[in-house]
Structure 1
Amino acid sequence: LDGMDIEDAKRAVITRAEDGGWGTGSTVFRLRDWGVSRQRYWGTPIPIIHCDACGAVPVPADQLPVVLPEDVSFDIPGNPLDRHPTWKNVPCPSCGAAARRETDTLDTFVDSSWYFIRFASQPKDRPFDRAVAEQWLPVAQYIGGVEHAILHLLYARFWTRALRHIGMLDVAEPFAGLFTQGMVTHETYSRQVTETGTDGTDTITKPLWLSLDDIEKRGDGYVERATGEAVTVGRIEKMSKSKKNTVDPTGIVDQYGADATRWFMLSDSPPERDLPWSESGIEGSWRFIQRVWRLFDGDKSTGGGTDAPLDRKLHQTIAGIAVDIEALAFNKAVAKLFELVNAIERAAPSASRDTAIATLMRLVAPMAPHIAEEAWAAAGNDGLIADAPWPEVDPALLVEDEVTIAVQINGKLRDTLVMPKGTARDVLEAAALASDKIVRALEGKTPRKIIVVPDRLVNLVA
């Protein structure tokens, strides 16, 4: 074993033991007992009564549920149930002698380990109705922070499997889909302070965390408002009260509106990644919301006519956003709405443009519900836009009738051509050779070979 790293040495020892017949390798998980009791008032009471003669006796079913007393005091540290004069003192269900209730309560993780079952079924006489619960479970989509993976989600899976093992539920996995969202992050701000230890001699230097309200910009850096001392700008990390790098959403909503705030948070990054908070980002979202409102509030076309490219863009957007929302790819859905708004703004007045604006109301409603509802009502529609059906898609308009052809010389891009889809090879060759950019780049040379990939590219080998 000399000279081997630890993992290789482990495998060598196991192999030697198995070959010699005097041992076998096994994987031992570092599982520990789950201590579910807490010395706190807030929690589900443990239905056990302690009797000196009978020991621990379960509370009879007809005495359930055990209800916590409301006349408790939290003025003294410790568990107020221990100090309650009457609640804990009860007769033993078995022998009738004086006994006492269990004053510990259950860890709240116990409740969250099966709440989704109770959510699906709430009978008054038992924890849940098996048939009803099995009709709804497993949960189709669970959304929660990644920190839940090692505690709550582990406990919930264990609890569900335990219920299945004892025959109370025929569901093995509680959650069919799991999505872990990112966190909103921000820079941290601090300055170093020195504190004297309890013995009066030792000193400790530690950061004093400052909020955005505690600092101000000065020159190229920041200083503390109260003292004028320089502030250290730390790395971007999860917003937390302890480090004071939080942004009050109330102030943001008051200044920019709820729709702009939602739009920024949905558009800036995929929801599974962290979102660095940016003042410039929220301002950009606010400006875009104003553009959308101007479309809703502007004059509509008085003439007819259609705009085929805009019709196609609209229906491609409807279909694409539906797919993105189902995939929780909200930033991609927002990007498609940006493109559609740009296309509507560029389009000339027409019936197609009016239809696109009216449809845009329903497309932005999940992301910017307030302006969508206002525009929906102002347009004379009945009811709420939240109750309106999703726009229908015309499959024929999802197919592009034009494609962009890349024109290369010796493999290097020199020009692009927009051509009807399915254009013949000879027509593509002629169009490429007639391009002014290609003529200049060839400098009078005649291509030795022309490679055509229909609907994609033309490569001239000179």
Structure 2
Amino acid sequence: MAMNERYEPQAIEGKWQTRWEEAGVFRAGMRPGAPKKYILEMLPYPSGKMHMGHVRNYLIGDVYARYFQMKGYDVLHPMGWDAFGLPAENAAIKDGVHPAVRTQENITSFKEEIRSLGYCYDWAREVNTSQPEYYRWNQWFFIQMLERGLVYRRFSKVNWCTGCLTVIANEQVKDGTCERCDSPVLDKEMPEWAFRITKYSQVLLDGLDTLKEWPERITSMQRNWIGRSEGAEADFAVQGSGEKIRVFTTRIDTVFGCTYVVLAPDHKLVAKVTAPERQAEVSAFVAKMAATSKTDRLAEGAVKEGVFTGAYALNPFTGQPVPIWIANFVLSDYGTGAVMSVPAHDERDFDFARKYGLPVKPVVQPASGEKLPAGEALEAAFTEDGVLSDSGEFSGQASAEARRRLSAKLEAEGRGKATVTYRQKDWGFSRQRYWGTPIPIVYCEKCDPDRRGIPVPVEQLPVRLPEIDTQAVLTGKGEPPLAKVASWVNTTCPRCGGPARREAETMDTFVDSCWYFARYLSPRYAEAPFDAAEARRWLPVDVYVGGPEHAVMHLLYFRFWTRVMKELGLSPVDEPVKRLVTQGIVNGSDGRKMSKRWGNVVAPATIVKKYGADTARAYVMFAGPPERDFDWSDAQVEGAFRFLKRVWTLAVSHESVAGTVYTGPFEGKALEIRRAAHKCLKRVGEAIERLSFNTAIAGIMEYLNALQALGTAETPAEKAAMAEAIRVLAVVLTPFTPHIADEVAEAYGAKAFTVQEAWPDFDPALVVDDEIPYAVQVNGKLRAEIKVSAEASEADVRAVAEADERVKAAMAGKALRKFVFVPKRLVNFVVG
């Protein structure tokens, strides 16, 4: 079929999308003997509206998926929906629409937009985390982990969002507010369910060393979040009491310089050790701290403040009493909630000591140079390792050696030990909302008087969310919504058959996204969360694309979950993802992140309607490297559209040569055409492999320019070369702009979709130039450009350069002082 004279993307894109889907072009598993590639983007929450950030995220994976399919791989590239969550429930509270209804409407809308952009998903593997067939397995995992001690019930301080009216994770608190709704977050004590992720802190830390293809900033963020600290625990006996304060320190070598001990305001010993005359002041301070968020207490520049309890503790090495204080900078859930303060060797302790007139005693001297002055003359803390002084039998020892010996002595005497602590805390995952996975637990007064919880038998899963009167149940006030549904919450005990109550809280939606990548392998499998045989075929994910904001939430949680799945015999891998790609932000044309708040959002549908999907795809991929932010530009969108029109015009202008067959030698212009084609194949393929998509498109643009410059094909050799060159153009465009690629390829005789064609190997002989250009400079200024044989020696290049008339004129009457030769680039004559 002849091509239309004009490029009209709306006339071709829907046609090709329908053909791809009907032919099942992107079905995984169609090449069972081929090597596999699992390409995945983080599944979206279906808000109903795609934004350009989504477009960019999915395009990165789409380019890879198409390219590797053309390279002969069996490619798995699925899509699904992270469909539970607060936004749908909050919307239900606001307008009375059931979350299930709103979610399905949003999925339908979102899916239409995705399809309009021509993404190559295997829709046969689509998952929806709000469906019982999916969340049944969340519940199954919960029970398996409960049996193994990886799930437990605890009473603890939680982050309570005053806007969402639910608990949120530590990672979701940003500067004392909820990252979702910007409402203040308060510390609140309440019972919750938690995953014992801290059992895996060290293996998660060690695993980071194996993730060679993850961005360093992501692995660094995870290392910092896990926060491994090597140190020692030591007991400070409370004077005149049978109590002991156990402190954790990474600098036990400074213990002889400890001049006070600090407890967290909510430490369990505060009330016991506080002297009667100090009770009022201490109680007031404790109350003040209870009303202050952790974030505010620990914020950079926050004022360090505290109060003396009136009690003293005994230094475990000197036996000397030191005062016990409470202060805002010590937290009960970090370390032991108590620290030994050595102001001469810790900046925070130094500032606090100076503020409250506490002693400063140097006990570690620099290994070389001037010694520290006496404590009262010390101007700042010396925080480096050194040599111990005034430290009894340990004086003269280097800090590292002293730490080992001091820790050993503590352990030998039963007053402490060397230990490792982690900043990471267990993952509290129960939420006081309706739209989430029900926790499969019941409480029976007879069988479970301590309310530890009785698991629902596996054969009774899933515990389904009940149908509700939205306006009556989702009020945003009072007890958890499910507790208001009497017909659901009242049940029978699986042990005695008597009356029981279901757990009314639901799971954090991060549980859904911990293992969804594995459910894609066998989304209809009913015997287990997924088929282990499929896991052996497809895991780990080869390329995973998503935002860096998930570094210490999703990306850490699903690494933990993958370890558990391996222990359960489901998965063969320790780590879920081989290569992680974190995309940058698409800002509005005003330079601010696209947001309804700023009124700078560009809807993908608007671009598709006006310019076509291929233009949107080409623009986003050409705008910059995937990991960098970029500002939206309407002018550059127009530029991408003009580029595709030029592709179309070129293909139309040479369509008559599409069937040319030629078997003779290629010389002259015909050879130039073939050289351009094979250089483009090499450049684009290499750029895609290294994730430099903008460079790949730049290479295609240069190729287009070269073909246009070569003009009309006249001889049989030139016509055959041009037909081949335009077929190559369709090939290299396929990962980026697949609709126009298939349209051009069909016009030039293709019998299959371009994505099903093999990516051609370039001919090494055709990518080496017979001649290469050299810039010729005189005293650093460009005077000429010459072309010489690619095999030319330095002497040959110099001779040709010296013979150039412009170079001769620039050097006339001057003496040559130096000749600079940069192979395959430039020469420079330094004259004077």
- 1:86 partner letter: S
Structure 1 match to 2:505: 104
Greater shift in the superposed pair: 174-183 or 418-427: 418-427
Structure 2 match to 1:213: none
Structure 1 match to 2:729: 360
- 2:495 partner letter: S
**Counterpart mapping for 1:137-152 below 5 A:** 137-152=539-554
Aligned match for 2:496, one of 95, 105, 111: 95
Checking the alignment, whether the CA contact within 8 Å between 1:268 and 1:331 is kept in structure 2 is yes
- 2:459 partner letter: D
Q: Secondary structure at the match of 1:360?
A: helix
Inter-partner Cα distance in structure 2 for 1:80 and 1:448: 86
Checking the alignment, whether the CA contact within 8 Å between 1:265 and 1:275 is kept in structure 2 is no
Checking the alignment, whether the CA contact within 8 Å between 2:820 and 2:827 is kept in structure 1 is yes
Is 2:773 aligned against 1:404? Answer: yes
Shift of 1:64: 1.7
- 2:705 partner letter: N
Structure 1 match to 2:470: 73
- 2:441 partner letter: I
Structure 2 match to 1:58: 455
Checking the alignment, whether the CA contact within 8 Å between 1:161 and 1:172 is kept in structure 2 is yes
Greater shift in the superposed pair: 261-270 or 362-371: 362-371
Is 2:403 aligned against 1:34? Answer: no
Is 2:701 aligned against 1:341? Answer: no
Aligned match for 1:431, one of 774, 789, 800: 800
Structure 1 match to 2:687: 324
Partner deviation per Cα, 1:314-353 (whole Å, 9 max, x = no partner): 1011121112222221101100011001001100323223
Partner deviation per Cα, 1:95-114 (whole Å, 9 max, x = no partner): 11111221211111112111
- 1:242 partner letter: R
Partner deviation per Cα, 1:110-143 (whole Å, 9 max, x = no partner): 1211122222245312223434323322111110
Structure 2 match to 1:184: 586
Shift of 1:25: 8.0
**Counterpart mapping for 1:139-288 below 5 A:** 139-165=541-567, 169-187=571-589, 236-288=591-643
Inter-partner Cα distance in structure 1 for 2:601 and 2:500: 50
Q: Structure 1 residues 48 and 452 mapped into 2: Cα distance closer, same or farther (>3 Å)? A: closer
Q: Structure 1 residues 446 and 32 mapped into 2: Cα distance closer, same or farther (>3 Å)? A: closer
Q: Secondary structure at the match of 2:470?
A: coil
Aligned match for 1:127, one of 529, 540, 546: 529
Q: Structure 1 residues 383 and 21 mapped into 2: Cα distance closer, same or farther (>3 Å)? A: closer
Q: Structure 2 length as normaliser, TM-score?
A: 0.46
Structure 1 match to 2:72: none
Shift of 1:11: 4.4
Is 2:533 aligned against 1:113? Answer: no
Shift of 1:457: 4.4
Residue correspondences, number: 415
Greater shift in the superposed pair: 299-308 or 274-283: 299-308
Partner deviation per Cα, 1:191-212 (whole Å, 9 max, x = no partner): xxxxxxxxxxxxxxxxxxxxxx
- 2:454 partner letter: V
RMSD: 3.0
Partner deviation per Cα, 1:221-269 (whole Å, 9 max, x = no partner): xxxxxxxxxxxxxxx2211233332112222222222222211111111
Shift of 1:82: 1.9
Structure possessing the higher relative contact order (Cα contacts under 8 Å, 6 or more residues apart): 2
Shift of 1:373: 2.5
Structure 1 match to 2:406: 21
Structure 1 match to 2:672: 309
Q: Structure 1 residues 324 and 257 mapped into 2: Cα distance closer, same or farther (>3 Å)? A: same
Shift of 1:149: 0.8
Checking the alignment, whether the CA contact within 8 Å between 2:723 and 2:748 is kept in structure 1 is no
Shift of 1:295: 0.7
Inter-partner Cα distance in structure 1 for 2:739 and 2:791: 44
**Counterpart mapping for 1:364-443 below 5 A:** 364-410=733-779, 413-443=782-812
Structure 1 match to 2:59: none
Partner deviation per Cα, 1:424-457 (whole Å, 9 max, x = no partner): 4543333222111111011234646656566454
Checking the alignment, whether the CA contact within 8 Å between 2:430 and 2:508 is kept in structure 1 is yes
Inter-partner Cα distance in structure 1 for 2:692 and 2:620: 12
Inter-partner Cα distance in structure 2 for 1:375 and 1:454: 40
Is 2:438 aligned against 1:45? Answer: yes
Inter-partner Cα distance in structure 2 for 1:438 and 1:4: 67
Inter-partner Cα distance in structure 2 for 1:300 and 1:73: 61
Inter-partner Cα distance in structure 1 for 2:463 and 2:722: 65
Q: Structure 1 residues 19 and 9 mapped into 2: Cα distance closer, same or farther (>3 Å)? A: farther
Greater shift in the superposed pair: 23-32 or 149-158: 23-32
Partner deviation per Cα, 1:383-438 (whole Å, 9 max, x = no partner): 43333332332121122221222334455543321111112454333322211111
Checking the alignment, whether the CA contact within 8 Å between 1:452 and 1:458 is kept in structure 2 is yes
Structure 2 match to 1:225: none
Is 2:645 aligned against 1:297? Answer: no
Q: Secondary structure at the match of 1:416?
A: strand
Checking the alignment, whether the CA contact within 8 Å between 1:82 and 1:88 is kept in structure 2 is yes
Checking the alignment, whether the CA contact within 8 Å between 1:347 and 1:353 is kept in structure 2 is no
Shift of 1:49: 1.3
